[in-house]
Each structure stands twice: as structure tokens, then as C-alpha cells.
A = this chain, B = another copy of it.
């Protein structure tokens, strides 16, 4: 199968997530980076392109230039898709333009800075018939997919209670905003949207809840906070109600000292409880009352791992795969879909427009709830 030729928008020197996307695509094996508009500053865009080995003529000075000139190339040479890895407020314009230029889109989460912009992307997708994948990375882990089958599949009965947390500490000090490209835009409402930590990582946590339970978060009561001197949330927690009647708590914080990237979820159903933690992603624990706790391993040499989940692992059990491989699984699945492979029975392998819009609505409801003094808001 010929790799998908893609161009990247954003991800130049000093950026973090662009390199992650490129490595993920390389691990996936069915994508090939052939063009890029890696920075909004043309000189930096060119230099960044050279640094990662793009041919000069396809390291463009702006994304609009890239879309225009690539569209003019012969069909078997031009890019087929773009990967958008810019700050949130720069998602919608290139996404819409790319689709209108005939390109499919893979885009970092959250979908956009505002629900309106997210909706604009969604509308463009419908209008143009292009496909979109949103990189909610954590659903790329094989054991998260297994968790979904166990819970959303219904085998454990109804979902009663969920506890999810996503805690980091890289903004825990006032000084963390100084000279930190990652931090700077994330805490600036003009570039990140109205939400800080809840947009950056709270949406991941909410997506994980919805992915594993197969339900939507139907109502939320959230209280967001921030360190003195900051303008958008760097910390917050919420009670929530699931569409199926279960209840939950969600904490998202970038000021929880000592935690690096501590996304963890517990889902309690009528018959079993399920536990997963991103920092040790290769085990999944199922607890029941009348039998020993069961610890599943991601390893490809364990017969209990379904065949299609084996197929997205590259090494035998006990050879840990991590974040980049989970990310690669999203690229791989989207690439296969673009090449015509049928979606899995259960889920396509990446977050869809619907999933991403649900995340945007979750976020808007959380902000509204918090501004009103932490009252319940329906989604």
C-alpha cells in the first residue's frame, strides 16, 4: 500500500507536537511527509523545512501558499492530506481551506479554539466531503481500545461511576510562563481559546471517558481555578453525569506538583471495575468481586488480546510500547481509511468530527458552569 503523502502546517523549530506527529507518522509506516508550512514566519518556515529534510521547493512560507501550489501539482505527486499542528486559534482557517482545496485533514486536539470555529470545520467537512481525524492520542493505546470493548461493549453491565484525572505540573510555578513557547500560547485566551487546562487536557480526559464508556457526558458542574496573575484556568475539577445515568468526577490540572502526565481512569460497572493509567499504558486492570483482579498486558504474545489489537502492536509482549506508538496507531488507522479500508466494527481508530465536537461542547459547558459559580449545566 502506497503511503499517504502529506504536508504539515505548523510544527517548526521550537514546537513540540509537530515532531511528535512526524515521528508517529514514521512509525505508522503508511504516511510520507513531502511538504510543509512549518511556521507562520516564512524564514522560520524555510529553515524548519530544511532541518527536517524537506526539499526546498516544498518547504513553503505559509500554509495558504502550500495549499495553492500543492493543489497545482500532478495528482500522483501532490499531497493528499495535511496535518495541522498549530495553536488552537490557528486550526480552523487552514483546516477549512485545506478541505476546500481537496485535502483530507488530521488535526491536533482540541478541534478549535471556540465551538463556533469547530463547527465551521465540521461544516466544511460536510460541504467538501473530506475526512478529518482528530488526534486524541490516548485512544490509540491498544489497552484503551480493549477497555472500550469491555465497557462500552456492555459485558460489565451499566456504568455506575467514573473517576478520571489528568494532572501535570509544568505550569505549577509563576515563572513557568516566561520563555516557554509551549506554555505561552496555551495560557493566552487569544490563542488557546477561553479554556486553559480544561481545553488542553480536560478534553482528553473527557474524550477518554466517552471512548471507554461509549456514552456522552450529559451534564457537568465544574469549578475552574488559576494561579494568581493568570487569565485562564490552569486547574479545575467537575462532577458529571453520563448519558446512561452513571456519575463521575473529572480533575484536570497543570499545577499539580509532581505529576508529569498523569491521565488515569477508573470505570465502575455493575459487574466489574476497570483501571488504566497512561504513564503505565501496557497494563489494564479489571477487578471483580468473586475472582482475583485481572491484569491484562498489551503484549502481542498474549492470546487474550484480540487480533486486530495485536496488529497495531509492533513488538511481542514485554517490549513496552508508548505514547509515540499510540500516536502512530491513529495515523495508521486514518491512513488505512484514506486508502479505502473499511472502518472497524466498533470505532474507526481515531477521533472523528463528532467526537471532537462533543469535546468542544463539554468544554463550553465546563466554562459556563464555572463562571456561574459551579452550577450544573446540561451539554
Confirm or deny: A259 has a beta carbon within 8 angstroms of a beta carbon on chain B: yes
Q: How far is the CB of A366 from chain B (nearest CB, A)?
A: 12
Residues of B within 8 A of A295 (CB): 285, 292-295
The listed residue (B3, B165, B260, B270) touching A163 by CB distance below 8 A is: B165
Q: How far is the CB of A154 from chain B (nearest CB, A)?
A: 15
Q: Mark A245-260, 1 if CB is under 8 A from B, else 0.
A: 0011101010111111
Residues of B within 8 A of A318 (CB): 168, 259-262, 278-279
With most chain B CB atoms within 10 A of its CB, the pick from A249, A262, A297 is A249
With most chain B CB atoms within 10 A of its CB, the pick from A259, A270, A272, A320 is A320
Residues of B within 8 A of A378 (CB): none
The listed residue (B237, B238, B320) touching A161 by CB distance below 8 A is: B237
Considering only CB atoms, which chain B residue lies closest to A269 in the complex? B257
Binds B, one of A39-47, A205-213, A298-306, A331-339: A298-306
Considering only CB atoms, which chain B residue lies closest to A291 in the complex? B304
Confirm or deny: A273 has a beta carbon within 8 angstroms of a beta carbon on chain B: yes
Confirm or deny: A325 has a beta carbon within 8 angstroms of a beta carbon on chain B: yes
CA distance A341 to B253 in the complex (A): 41
Residues of B within 8 A of A239 (CB): 221, 223, 237-239, 374
Q: How far is the CB of A196 from chain B (nearest CB, A)?
A: 15
Q: How far is the CB of A300 from chain B (nearest CB, A)?
A: 10
Q: How far is the CB of A53 from chain B (nearest CB, A)?
A: 8
Residues of B within 8 A of A317 (CB): 260-261
Binds B, one of A20-28, A84-92, A95-103: A20-28
Q: How far is the CB of A251 from chain B (nearest CB, A)?
A: 6
| Known contacts A27-B324, A295-B292, A323-B319; is-contact A256 B273 (Cβ 8 Å) | yes
Does A249 contact B249, Cβ atoms closer than 8 Å? yes
CA distance A294 to B161 in the complex (A): 24
Confirm or deny: A68 has a beta carbon within 8 angstroms of a beta carbon on chain B: no
Residues of B within 8 A of A173 (CB): 289
Does A301 contact B170, Cβ atoms closer than 8 Å? yes
Q: How far is the CB of A76 from chain B (nearest CB, A)?
A: 16
A157-199 CB contacts (< 8 Å) to partner B:
160-161, 163, 165, 167-170, 172-173
Considering only CB atoms, which chain B residue lies closest to A303 in the complex? B290
CA distance A16 to B314 in the complex (A): 9
The listed residue (B287, B304, B314) touching A258 by CB distance below 8 A is: B287
Confirm or deny: A6 has a beta carbon within 8 angstroms of a beta carbon on chain B: no
With most chain B CB atoms within 10 A of its CB, the pick from A272, A292, A302 is A292
17 residue pairs of the A-B complex, CB under 8 angstroms, read A20-B314, A161-B256, A173-B289, A221-B239, A237-B248, A257-B289, A258-B272, A258-B293, A259-B318, A260-B302, A261-B317, A278-B318, A292-B294, A292-B304, A294-B294, A319-B322, A321-B322
The 6 closest A-B pairs by CB, nearest first: A258-B287, A261-B318, A260-B318, A258-B273, A320-B322, A260-B317
